[in-house]
Amino acid sequence: MNPNLKQLVNPYLPSYEYIPDGEPYVFGDRVYIYGSHDKYNGDVYCELDYVCWSAPVNDLGDWRYEGVIFRKDQDPCNDELDGNLYAPDVTVGPDGRYYLYYSLSSMGRVGVAVCDEPAGKYDFYGYVHYDDGTALGEKEGDEPQFDPAVLTEDGITYLYTGFCGPGDPKRHGAMVTLLDKDMLTVIKPPAFIAPGEYYRKGTSFEEHPFFEAPSMRKAGGRYYFIYSSVVNHELCYALSDSPEGPFEYGGVIVSNCDIGIDTYKKADMPCVPYANNHGSMECINGQWYIFYHRHTNGHNYSRQECMEKIYIGDDGSIAQAEITSCGGTPLKGSGVYPAYIACNLYLESDEKRDDLNVCDVFKPRHMIIPWIGWLCDDYPKIVQDHSDLTPDEYDKVSAVKDIKSYVSNMRDGSVAGFKYFDIKGLKKIAIHTKGYGRGRMEVYAAGRETPDKKELICTIPVSSKNTFIRWEGDASVKDGVYALYFIFRGESNLNLLDFELI
């Protein structure tokens, strides 16, 4: 590993940033992430203006804040600011300019903004419309537009949209609309390419019908329609030889709670509290990644971006990626790591029960408001002890240096898991904790090749403290690549700030 490169961790943006619905693109020698913008501890989705971050394609640990690229008050129909900016997408038009497509929470049409560079200040350009000027989504027979995604080829822009609540006969599914070279005018009206739950019977999408979050990518001559199914926590893909379809369901790329992964747990056991998901895939420096978001702060209005390596088979298939703290490349087995990069948060007892529905949030099922269970106080969660930042504060070290994000509410039997570390010569493990918890923190290691075999490698006594205090214990494990699980055993509860591998 080049010591000059920062390591990629999940979430890959700073702990104070809350970007969901990520659409990654490589432009030149940098990868840019476009998404919605949640507020820390917000109470609705997407409260803030669009911002952009970018990183060198050969250093995915070095993300740079590009600033606000589009404000919700720039939309001429949002003068009262009653609409929030939902998930956007970006494409390069035939004129070489960058076009940002978005929707507002307050109306079912698609807005477009334009800029001469990937992360500059975008200017409002217009609404997608028919020849007669009627906005797409407002013509008789149209379905409301939502979550726009775009792909431009040979002077034509393919616009993918849709939202289908479970069992809603008024919403048929995801649709594709073809736009002219002006990037606004419809030249072919919407056609449905993936059914919603009500219309799924007899199709390849029957078990994973379309819900929301369309995205489109091309790889190996195939077109990948990426979307969130009514199962809600998963990003699925469908394949076609044409951007207009027909599409056949392919599989699950990632679940933000690892349902479907059965290597270190039962396949139907969530490894972390979950809710909706949205993202896409991109090839960066020769490696494909899936981008998705996780949920923090005990609700689903403060979401953060994560990424994992994925691999596309010769037949176009994609195996489901396991969620990690490292994005696929093991982290160095020494140094200090923040606890907020935990990819597993659950109760030890969950692993030992046939009935895993100890809390509604841990109930694998179709999307019926799965986040209600976040009201359950038994589970550990990731929190931040600082109010949300203003745009002007992002670049000020003084504004961010004291922000602490950590795992809170670790009670007896709570598990915080971190994956993966390339450990060599480990002697000690130290932690910083705060709270009224009294007892011990046990650290278990599970080899990447033997994920179901956990070995106790360190025991650290802890006691009640009102500030974060350092504790340490002797550790011993053979050199190798490991997942680490921190399990608290004791009374009351504590907060875990970080850990150090020594």
Whether residue 2 is contained in a domain is answered as no
Indicate if 45 and 140 belong to the same structural domain. Answer: yes
Whether residue 17 is contained in a domain is answered as no
CATH of residue 161's domain is: 2.115.10.20
pLDDT at 416 (0 to 100): 98
pLDDT at 298 (0 to 100): 85
Indicate if 306 and 369 belong to the same structural domain. Answer: no
Whether residue 119 is contained in a domain is answered as yes
pLDDT band at 3; cut points 50, 70, 90: low
Indicate if 290 and 376 belong to the same structural domain. Answer: no
Residue 63's Cβ-side half-sphere holds a number of Cα atoms within 13 Å equal to 24
| Mean pLDDT score, 93-109 | 96
pLDDT at 362 (0 to 100): 40
Average of per-residue pLDDT values in the chain: 92
Whether residue 3 is contained in a domain is answered as no
Indicate if 33 and 65 belong to the same structural domain. Answer: yes
Contact 44, 38 (CB under 8 A): no
- Catalytic pick among 17, 23, 38, 212: 212
Indicate if 391 and 293 belong to the same structural domain. Answer: no
Indicate if 169 and 80 belong to the same structural domain. Answer: yes
| Mean pLDDT score, 461-473 | 97
Annotate 404-425 with b (16+ C-beta within 10 A) or e (fewer): bbbbbbbbbebbbbbbbbbbee
One-letter amino acid at 365 equals R
**pLDDT over 90 (residue 206):** yes
pLDDT tens digit sequence for 125-137: 999 999 999 999 9
Work out the percent of the chain whose per-residue pLDDT is above 70. Answer: 91
Burial tier of 455 (Cβ tally within 10 Å: 0-12, 13-18, 19+):
middle
The DSSP bridge partners found for residue 180 are none
**pLDDT over 80 (residue 31):** yes
The DSSP bridge partners found for residue 270 are none
Residue 412 annotated in active site: no
Whether residue 464 is contained in a domain is answered as yes
Indicate if 52 and 197 belong to the same structural domain. Answer: yes
pLDDT tens digit sequence for 418-434: 999 999 999 999 999 99
| Domain limit, last residue, from 329, 355, 380 | 329
pLDDT at 367 (0 to 100): 38
**pLDDT over 50 (residue 308):** yes
Show the CA angle centred on residue 53, arms to residues 389 and 156, nearest 5°. Answer: 130
CATH of residue 390's domain is: 2.60.120.260
Annotate 457-485 with b (16+ C-beta within 10 A) or e (fewer): bbebebebbeebeebebebebeebbbbbb
Whether residue 10 is contained in a domain is answered as no
| Mean pLDDT score, 243-256 | 98
Indicate if 174 and 313 belong to the same structural domain. Answer: yes
Indicate if 308 and 365 belong to the same structural domain. Answer: no
pLDDT tens digit sequence for 154-176: 999 999 999 999 889 999 999 99
Number of helices (H) and strands (E) in the chain: give both, helices first: 2, 31
Indicate if 258 and 359 belong to the same structural domain. Answer: no
**pLDDT over 80 (residue 375):** no
Indicate if 161 and 29 belong to the same structural domain. Answer: yes
Pairwise pLDDT comparison (395 vs 325), residue with the higher score: 325
pLDDT at 226 (0 to 100): 98
| Mean pLDDT score, 295-310 | 94
pLDDT at 358 (0 to 100): 31
Work out the percent of the chain whose per-residue pLDDT is above 90. Answer: 85
Q: What's the residue count for the chain?
A: 502
Q: Report CA-CA distances (Å) from 24 to 37, 84, 149, 257, 380.
A: 15, 21, 12, 21, 30
| Mean pLDDT score, 295-311 | 94
Whether residue 129 is contained in a domain is answered as yes
pLDDT band at 273; cut points 50, 70, 90: confident
Contacts of 99 by beta carbon, 8 Å cutoff, 6+ apart: 90, 91, 92, 93, 112, 113, 114, 125, 150, 157, 183
pLDDT at 423 (0 to 100): 98
- Catalytic pick among 17, 21, 282, 308: 21
**pLDDT over 60 (residue 360):** no
CA 456 from centroid of its chain's CA atoms: 31
Strands (DSSP E) along 310-343, which ranges? 331-332, 335-338
Indicate if 368 and 314 belong to the same structural domain. Answer: no
Nearest CA among 273, 275, 282, 274 for reference residue 253: 282
**pLDDT over 80 (residue 470):** yes
Look at the chain and report how many structural domains it folds into.
Answer: 2
| Mean pLDDT score, 316-327 | 98
Residue 138 annotated in active site: no
Whether residue 4 is contained in a domain is answered as no
pLDDT at 167 (0 to 100): 87
First to last CA, the chain: 19
- Domain span including residue 420: 340-501
pLDDT tens digit sequence for 39-88: 988 889 999 999 999 999 999 999 999 999 999 999 999 988 999 999 99
Contacts of 265 by beta carbon, 8 Å cutoff, 6+ apart: 258, 271, 351
